[in-house]
Chain A
């Protein structure tokens, strides 16, 4: 009642021009959303502009980071010594395991040579720090402190020590946004390690659950089965752990069943992540290839 009488200033509403401008801005916003959802170009622009907000994300780190610094300063010396010893032991164990894997890898390369299939390339990795920020709760995203300056690219796989975490969605020069495998819009090609069956794991929006929706009712799958990346689609490297099967829902009469997977990577707790360049490192054992080349050239 009151405002209809006082329309002298243009900013107070009620005037048709106000509604018109609302419609204009709303249309612009919807156009932006649709473009962003469907085209890669706007996403690239958005990635570059993300650098503008990076200082604020860094600023928000400050309370948590200073708290950790303080507790590290106050930590007991003996506690620190114990931790160092523990890490050294763990390093020793994993180092011996790596040595064995290296021998196996070399053997595998030789066998692939004999079979005439292309040698599998190793993966280059880069360690990146996760920023401790909460983005939109509707989606599962995270921010890493490496960007296109370090060679990070959209679609790059992100993993932690236990398994695949997700992939890079946007990159700016100094930072990058990643989608987690648990995001409801994310899907990752996987295979069951025990049987080699290939399928796709979909995010559910719950941080601790993925789903296989295309498993035939007759398929051989059991709780506890390890699910690894299949490497199909050429986005994720082959053989990275994704999760373990926790439950299988059987509906009588349905052609497919829903299989729940618990991700192995610590999606909500990891502080450091690995950015992976799949298949960029030459195989460690080059010798057999050279011999094969020599045999082929007359």
Chain B
């Protein structure tokens, strides 16, 4: 029973860590390279344990992220719901991809997400010239294998039996 609680704790802690990394100050030139940490975490749980992450929870996490980063309410909620939906569609295939192929798929999902995100931002009047939004997904591809292995190791340790 306590192991089940531990595994819930792991899910919560992974999201808290992802959100902390999201607002952690970076040197000025690097902010556009910051991977979409919460997006990566959402993808991980949607692939590995869909019972902890349905669309409703992704929506709630997105709203929390909107509060944290001061964006319009609903912006990150939409982004995460779309990500989880896409992962749900391809979940069984993505689970058995080799890690590098999985990383590329994750990169493609996040790239799609950034394009939608930037489009909505530009609708609301924030003019970003464009090419900056392409910088984060490649970094996320490099981060994904390490994050996957770390979370997998932790999850194995706290797996409920």
Interface residues of A (CB under 8 A from B): 2-3, 6, 9, 11-14, 18-19, 21-22, 25-26, 28-33, 35-37, 42, 46, 49-50, 52-53, 56-57, 59-60, 64, 132-139, 141, 143, 169-170, 177, 183-185, 204-205, 207, 268
B85 touches A (CB below 8 Å): yes
Q: Which of A11, A33, A52, A135 contacts B72 (CB under 8 A)?
A: A33
Task: Judge whether B34 and A22 touch: CB under 8 Å.
Answer: no
Contacts of A53 in B (CB 8 A): 19, 64, 67-68
B156 touches A (CB below 8 Å): no
Contacts of A18 in B (CB 8 A): 55, 85, 88-89
Q: Which of B20, B31, B91 contacts A56 (CB under 8 A)?
A: B20
Q: Which of A32, A138, A169 contacts B77 (CB under 8 A)?
A: A32
Q: Which of A132, A138, A268 contacts B126 (CB under 8 A)?
A: A138
Known A-B contacts A25-B56, A64-B25, A134-B34; the reply to A56 vs B68 at CB < 8 A is yes
Contacts of B90 in A (CB 8 A): 3
Known A-B contacts A11-B54, A33-B120, A134-B25; the reply to A28 vs B59 at CB < 8 A is yes
User: Which residues of chain B from 15 to 31 have a CB within 8 Å of any chain A CB?
Assistant: 16, 19-20, 22-26, 28, 31
Contacts of A137 in B (CB 8 A): 31-32, 34, 132
Contacts of B82 in A (CB 8 A): 22, 26
Number of B interface residues, CB 8 Å? 50
Task: Judge whether B72 and A36 touch: CB under 8 Å.
Answer: yes
Contacts of B32 in A (CB 8 A): 137
Task: Judge whether B74 and A12 touch: CB under 8 Å.
Answer: no
A136 vs B71: C-alpha distance when bound (angstroms): 7
Given pairs A28-B59, A31-B74, A139-B126, 16 additional interface contacts (CB within 8 A): A3-B89, A11-B88, A13-B88, A18-B89, A21-B55, A29-B78, A42-B73, A50-B70, A57-B68, A64-B25, A134-B23, A134-B24, A137-B34, A138-B128, A184-B125, A204-B127
User: Which residues of chain B from 54 to 84 have a CB within 8 Å of any chain A CB?
Assistant: 54-56, 59, 62, 64, 66-75, 77-78, 81-82
Task: Judge whether B50 and A22 touch: CB under 8 Å.
Answer: no
Q: Which of A28, A60, A139 contacts B71 (CB under 8 A)?
A: A139
A224 vs B151: C-alpha distance when bound (angstroms): 56
B92 touches A (CB below 8 Å): yes
Known A-B contacts A57-B23, A64-B25; the reply to A25 vs B81 at CB < 8 A is yes
A177 to chain B: closest residue by CB: B70
B118 touches A (CB below 8 Å): yes
A22 vs B55: C-alpha distance when bound (angstroms): 7
Known A-B contacts A53-B64, A138-B118, A185-B126; the reply to A29 vs B59 at CB < 8 A is yes
The minimal Cβ–Cβ distance linking B13 to chain A, given in whole angstroms, is 12
Contacts of B56 in A (CB 8 A): 25
Task: Judge whether A170 and B70 touch: CB under 8 Å.
Answer: yes
A61 vs B95: C-alpha distance when bound (angstroms): 37
Contacts of B131 in A (CB 8 A): none
B51 touches A (CB below 8 Å): yes
The minimal Cβ–Cβ distance linking B39 to chain A, given in whole angstroms, is 14
Known A-B contacts A25-B55, A185-B125; the reply to A56 vs B16 at CB < 8 A is yes
List 27 A-B pairs, Cβ < 8 Å: A3-B93, A9-B50, A11-B88, A22-B81, A25-B56, A25-B59, A29-B59, A29-B81, A30-B78, A32-B74, A33-B120, A46-B67, A49-B67, A56-B20, A56-B23, A59-B20, A64-B25, A136-B69, A137-B34, A139-B71, A139-B126, A183-B126, A184-B126, A185-B124, A185-B125, A185-B126, A207-B28
